[in-house]
Amino acid sequence: MINTISLQLKYFFSKFTFRRKKGIEERLKASYGSIKDENFHFSKIEKYFLHKDHSKAHQVISDKTCNDLDFDELFMFLDRTHSKIGQQYLYNKLRTIHPNSAQMELDEAIISELSENEKLRIEVQKKLEKLNHKDAYYVRALFQESHISPPKWFSSIKILSFLSFITIVLSFYKPIFFGVFSAIFCINLIIHYWNKKNLVQYINSIPQLIRLNAVAGHLFTNKNLQKLQPKLTDAIRVIRSVKNKMSFFQLEANLQGEFAIFAWFVFEIFKITFLIEPLLLFGVLRKLETKRNEIESVFTFVGHVDFLIAIASVRESAVRYCIPTITSKSETCADEIHHPLIRNCVTNNIDLRDKSLLLTGSNMSGKTSFIRAVGINVITGLTINTCFAKQMSFPCMRIFSAIRISDDLMNDKSYYFEEVITIKEMIAESEKDTINLFLLDELFKGTNTVERISAGKAVLSALAKNNNKVLVSTHDIELTDMLAENYELYHFSEIVEENTVAFDYKLKEGKLKNRNAIRILEMNQYPTAIIQEAIAISKTLDDTYLNQKKDQQNH
């Protein structure tokens, strides 16, 4: 009968396990190609990027450009990772342009395998999800931040631990030693809780490091994944060598989360008696201090694998995407490019060979969104080898922008002054021996018309030199004639019919010819006197401009 019950229990648990695994697999299949539905803690996600050495990078995308291009929203769209390690790794990759054709080729081979081999992908995803707890954010601190040092009186901790053991043993022979033990216990109690503030920094990260190492070991059994870091076995083995000491922290976490308070209390008394926590903590930290490179190697390996699955997932759900062609020429071309964050986004083509791009058009017609679309696609092309277009080619460029500028009231800086500083930095970058992409929206709109047009022409001419590419929008039609030699002229326009305004968001060649601002005022039932005066002034200004232009041509 006992054997029958045992068999029934085994059958029940095996069936339960099978259903649970099947449920996980179905969830992973359904999530592939889908956007995450969770909260994003950017203060934790960006820590790996902020502490990493980028001295060898071609460019680190600035906070300014990230703000201009809605980087946080872009990251949330692209983040299909299954671990906090992969999430931090992806953030760093998207903020750092670091061209490496050999690495890209290897990445594409692995992405292809993960896309085609669903069984392998799900097995990898299940391993990665073991590192999806928020505590995994803290692993990077073990190799990026300084560890706390033991106090100068650390040798006293060892002595007190030894004395506790001796007095406990002697208490069985002479009760007087129990009093000595009690006194030592009180001292140990103070030291134990003094050390808690040290321990709290590592109680989350060290157990996750053990788990990270185990996950890396499993992933490394795949021959294709081994190519990412062929010598990773050494790093895994080194971390595993200190696993026994680190396992104490894993036990501590389990006791707090799973066992009854009585078990925790007994264990706490034991730790106080022999000062287990400070002895093990500083012993482990001494070991980890010499293993920073190994920990980072394991971290980047797991993060890289998760990163590649994320790219495969993004491509799976993309309306259209392509692998960009990185050229040696200063040409930027794209077919059916679109903004990945805009639902049902209208596609456009761009072909900039010897010139830059000057955009005209009314508000809300699509100028700024188009400029952002190009900037985002260049970034994703250079970082994750993916563009949201049918075809796209461009050189390895650095990206700079001046789109979203505001007053800095805290430092008593006006909008115009902030823009002046930003553009000055761009001019300095434009003179360096690199190809740059400059994205600008309504240059110098914080000043008067005459000086805005004059300064704008001079700056845009300077930025377009040295094979740089400039994408700029403007309402100043005068600039189109002044910059025709260095800029391709394009525009976006609206369709005004009766009492409606419609936008087709299609890029059109040439400068904007139809101006509908006053017509839109009329549609919105502005007083007739205002409309008539506005039309009369507009005609006078147009005539003045045409006469000035004729005079310049005659001279």
Any bridge partners for residue 352, and if so which?
A: 332
Coil/strand/helix, residue 319? coil
The residue with greater pLDDT, 185 or 517, is 185
Does a structural domain hold residue 465? yes
pLDDT in tens, 420-445: 899 999 999 999 999 999 999 988 88
d(CA 487, CA 180): 88
Q: Is the pLDDT of residue 517 over 90?
A: no
Residue among 441, 399, 405 at smallest CA distance from 420: 405
- Best CA proximity match to 246, nearest among 275, 204, 215: 204
| Residue 337, in any domain of the structure | yes
Tokens of 244: 């026994």
Assess if residue 417 is contained within a domain. Answer: yes
d(CA 206, CA 211) in angstroms, rounded, equals 9
Report the 10 Å Cβ neighbour count for 448. Answer: 9
Structural domain containing residue 358: 325-513
Same domain, 501 and 374: yes
Asked whether residue 392 falls in the same domain as residue 508, the answer is: yes
Q: pLDDT tens for residues 283-336?
A: 889 989 999 999 999 999 999 999 999 999 999 999 999 999 999 888 999 999
344 and 457 both lie in a single domain: yes
- Residue 332 in any domain: the answer is yes
Task: Provide the residue count of the chain.
Answer: 555
Top-confidence residue, 347 or 540: 347
**Does 106 fall in a domain?**
no
Asked if the structure places residue 259 within a domain, the reply is: no
Together in a domain, 476 and 535: no
535: pLDDT confidence band, cut at 50, 70 and 90?
A: confident
Query: Is residue 455 located within the same domain as residue 533?
Result: no
Residue 256: pLDDT above 70?
no
Residues 443 and 542 occupy one common structural domain: no
pLDDT (0 to 100) of residue 6: 56
Range name among 250-254, 366-370, 483-487, 488-492 with the lowest pLDDT average: 250-254
Residue 503 resides in a domain = yes
pLDDT of residue 408: 52
DSSP annotation of 325 reads E
Percent of the chain's residues with pLDDT above 90: 59
Residue 415: which pLDDT band, with cuts at 50, 70 and 90? confident
495 and 358 housed in the same domain: yes
> Which residues, including other chains, have CB under 8 Å from residue 271's CB and lie 6 or more apart?
192, 277
User: Does 18 have pLDDT greater than 60?
Assistant: no
Q: What average pLDDT score do residues 8-26 get? A: 60
pLDDT at 409: 44
Same domain, 439 and 539: no
447 and 482 share a domain?
A: yes
SS (H, E, C) 352-390: ECCCEEEEECCCCCCHHHHHHHHHHHHHHHHHCCCECCC
- Count of helix runs (H) and strand runs (E) in the chain: 25, 14
Look at the chain and report how many structural domains it folds into: 3
Contact 213, 131 (CB under 8 A): no
Q: Are residues 367 and 424 in the same domain?
A: yes
Residues 460, 548: one domain?
A: no
Output the 3-class SS for 469-507. Answer: EEEEEECCCHHHHHCCCCEEEEECCEEEECCEEEECCCC
- CATH code, domain with 432: 3.40.50.300
Q: Check residues 3 and 459 and name the one with the higher pLDDT.
A: 459
335 and 457 belong to one structural domain: yes
Element containing residue 432 per DSSP (H, E): none
- Report yes or no on 93 lying in a domain: no
Is pLDDT at 414 greater than 80 in this prediction? no
